[in-house]
Structure 1
Amino acid sequence: MLDLLRNGLVVSCQPVDGGPMDDPEIISAMARAAIAGGADGVRIQGVANLRHARKSITAPIIGIVKRDLPDSPVRITPFLDDVAALAQAGADIIAYDATSRARPVSCAAIVEEIAKHGCLAMADCSNMDDAKGAVRDGAQIVGSTLSGYTDETADSGPEPDLEFVEELARLDAFVMAEGRYANPDLAKTAIKAGADCVTVGTPLTRLEVNTALFRAAISQVT
């Protein structure tokens, strides 16, 4: 599975929540279009979306469930039941929040549950402590996904955290560069920095966000 993704591209097929493209049929079409364009895998949020996409693609799928919890900032695959549901829907890899923040279920328990279902575990990390802990827990993939999205890393700036990618590359794990890879040159730079694969989302699959950028630029001169 990891050999299929090495030196590759994953497209995160996550439209704006509640937007007109937030529909299993459309997300499945996004996944097929991404694969047709050369993506080596896709990342999909939500059990129903993943199940629908699995019917039409054979490429690796990284599955997640996002939740807004009242007592924890952890959003990505926080429960064991989420892991089981994603595995049953056809995920090959299951990503989870690997930060040290307060959470309903320990990271080690999440990784154990992922392994129980025969899937690979991807740790969405914000710093090296997260990543080292994930490797100890048995995660096969460490990602820079949450750098810039926690209180401790919020000042990392608008560019991808390439320094973090370089640090991750020193670990004994498959490295996924993810987060703010807004153009092909940045994706290429991530591979040069030591990433095994790059995940790109918003620039490819969030039409509302990108349309708004063009609209704002034009509005400045009219």
Structure 2
Amino acid sequence: MKKNEVLNRLRGGLVVSCQALETEPLHSPKIMARMASAAQEGGAVGIRANSPDDIAEIRRAVDLPIIGLHKVDYPDSEVYLTPTMKEVDGLVKVGADIIAVDATARMRPGRLTLREFFTAVKQKYPDRIFMADTSCYEEGVEAKALGFDLVGTTLSGYTEYTRDVKLPNFDLMKKYAETLGLPIVAEGGIWTPEQLRAAFDLGVWTAVVGTAITRPREITRRFVDAMRVFG
């Protein structure tokens, strides 16, 4: 699909994140593919998925645009979401329509800045669509300057300097939508349809919901924790 076609398919709709880490009971490419199929039947316009193995299986199951990422830990960096060119290469090879990259101000593996890393990525893959996963406004501004195609609020609350931010970060969504002039992806902490509606009312392009839909362990914990609070 061409860039405009991919972005237009996402506009005004819900992207469902189908991810399960190795420590989670649902960790399996086949299970994630079935989760993606259920999301498509439910009306999702796109899927966000982690790892080439999951994405390849999901691609065989649905015909929706896929936002691909690859979570890998490196000992010399806090950045683990598509942290190096190796992960980008793998996502390109498996055919992710959009590649999501940690676009925070933190140093990447090899002591590379985001600018150094993404400049090399864009030189190698000038025609690919890239989404910046950011945590604060300054990072969104930098992402636009570097040539990202979409900017998401994905990592707000997950960096050391945004830990006190209340999620969903509607203020960041609003500021991005009003000033960046790029498709904005609302992501992070959206648990209810009302919160989803509020995000779209702020002018975002699309929204990603994951845990509230596709992580039954965390959903169960949320209910159990509520039972403890209310006695």
TM-score category of the 2 structures, normalised to the smaller one: over 0.9
User: 2:16 aligned with 1:2, yes or no?
Assistant: no
Q: d(CA) in 2 for partners of 1:93 and 1:152?
A: 27
User: 2:81 aligned with 1:73, yes or no?
Assistant: no
User: 2:39 aligned with 1:55, yes or no?
Assistant: no
Q: CA deviation digits over 1:55-86, x for unaligned, max 9?
A: 12111000001122211111110111111111
- Pairing of 1:1-222 with structure 2 (within 5 A): 1-104=6-109, 105-108=112-115, 109-110=117-118, 112-113=120-121, 116=125, 118-157=127-166, 159-169=167-177, 170-218=179-227
Aligned partners of 2:105 and 2:113 also within 8 Å: no
Instruction: Name the CA shift for 1:221/1:120 in 2 (closer, same or farther; >3 Å).
Output: closer
- TM-score normalised according to structure 1 size: 0.93
Q: CA deviation at 1:144?
A: 0.5
Q: CA deviation at 1:211?
A: 1.2
How many residue pairs end up in the alignment?
Answer: 221
Q: d(CA) in 2 for partners of 1:106 and 1:133?
A: 12
**Gap regions ≥5 residues in structure 2:** 1-5
Instruction: Name the CA shift for 1:112/1:41 in 2 (closer, same or farther; >3 Å).
Output: farther
Aligned partners of 1:93 and 1:120 also within 8 Å: yes
**Gap regions ≥5 residues in structure 1:** none
Aligned partners of 2:106 and 2:113 also within 8 Å: no
Q: CA deviation digits over 1:9-29, x for unaligned, max 9?
A: 110101254222110000000
Instruction: Name the CA shift for 1:57/1:118 in 2 (closer, same or farther; >3 Å).
Output: farther
Q: CA deviation digits over 1:161-203, x for unaligned, max 9?
A: 1010011112121100000001111011001112111100100
Q: d(CA) in 1 for partners of 2:105 and 2:228?
A: 42
Q: d(CA) in 2 for partners of 1:137 and 1:219?
A: 47
Letter in 2 for 1:151: E
Aligned partners of 2:118 and 2:146 also within 8 Å: no
Aligned partners of 1:143 and 1:177 also within 8 Å: yes
Range with bigger deviation, 83-92 or 103-112 = 103-112
Letter in 1 for 2:175: E
Q: Secondary structure at the match of 1:96?
A: strand
Q: d(CA) in 1 for partners of 2:230 and 2:161?
A: 37
Q: CA deviation at 1:220?
A: 5.9
> Once superposed, what is the RMSD of the aligned Cα atoms?
1.7
| 2:3 corresponds to | none
Report % sequence identity.
37
Q: d(CA) in 1 for partners of 2:230 and 2:133?
A: 40
Q: CA deviation digits over 1:112-169, x for unaligned, max 9?
A: 5267174210000111111111111110100011111111110012x31101001111
